[in-house]
Amino acid sequence: MKVRVDSDLCQGHTLCAMNAPDRFALRDEDGHAYAVDEDVPAGQERPVREAARSCPEQAIVLS
């Protein structure tokens, strides 16, 4: 599974980093989230899916 954050949609709520702190971080410059690694390792899908579901802006794109 792959994950990325649409920076145009992200509003920096931080929910993703709270749900999956190993997978998401926020940039100092603009406070927007990014995926630490676009390739989600086996066993890490669940928190990433939870983060995507909880994002109020639906900015987390899974593929």
CB atoms within 10 A of CB 3: 24
- As a dihedral over the C-alpha atoms of residue 25, residue 31, residue 33, residue 34, rounded to 10 degrees, the angle is -70
Contacts of 42 by beta carbon, 8 Å cutoff, 6+ apart: none
What residues numbered 20-59 form the site for ligand SF4, per CB under 6 A? 33, 55, 57, 59
Total residues binding ligand SF4 (CB under 6 A): 13
Answer for which of 3, 10, 20, 48 binds ligand SF4 (CB under 6 A) is 10
Of these, 3, 20, 48, 60, which contacts ligand SF4 (CB under 6 A)?
Answer: 60
Binding site for ligand SF4 (CB under 6 A): 5, 10-16, 33, 55, 57, 59-60
